[in-house]
Structure 1
Amino acid sequence: MAVEIATDSTFNQFLEKNDKVVVKYFANWCGSCRLFKPKFKRLSNDERFEGVTFLDVNAEENPEARKKAGVNNLPFFAVFKNGVLVEGVPTSKEDAVVELLGKL
């Protein structure tokens, strides 16, 4: 499954239409965010996470989506189940994101 781009205007629609969502919050200036991009794409194609929607959100351009997860550092990953925040974590470690996905 592809990683989709969400904005303040589309974020809630993604949460409403998808039971399980993982969001990567990033900024264009963030080197760790750029380095994680191929890992996030690979995870989105991992059969273990079939049925999970993967979203990218530019944290600087989308303050409403950022507030939903309480983003305090970048990159920041958050999982939502049935539109409700389950957990969020600032990390650049793939293992931490996999653990977070396990909470869905």
Structure 2
Amino acid sequence: MAWLFLLLSGLGEVGGVTGIKLSNGFKNARGTLLALCSGFVSFYCLSRSLQEIPISTAYAIWTGIGSIGSVLLGMLLFGESKDKRKLLFIAMIIIGAAGLKFTSGGHG
């Protein structure tokens, strides 16, 4: 269950940063509400995952999910560059996160 909370916390992180982008400097109410709600979900779920997953593993994976999600949404929603090198580096983040999960010492 801790790994599900960690996944949800990462998705909340993506929602939070997307909300910040859409808030236009916190001038847009919908974007601001998305940022605040997603941020709450992100930190709540991260705190639940930390009850079973080591902080070093959880934080690295949480930021990895946030980074990957933000890059992909930037490409899909905000017209950011779809450079193939970005996809290579996303793959490297995924490999690193998987390695951390497999070496987490039996936790989770």
Question: If each structure's helix is expressed as a fraction of its own residues, which one has the higher value?
Answer: 2
Larger Rg: 1 or 2? 2
More strand by share: 1
Q: Shared topology, TM-score over 0.5?
A: no
- TM-score, normalised by the number of residues in structure 1: 0.32
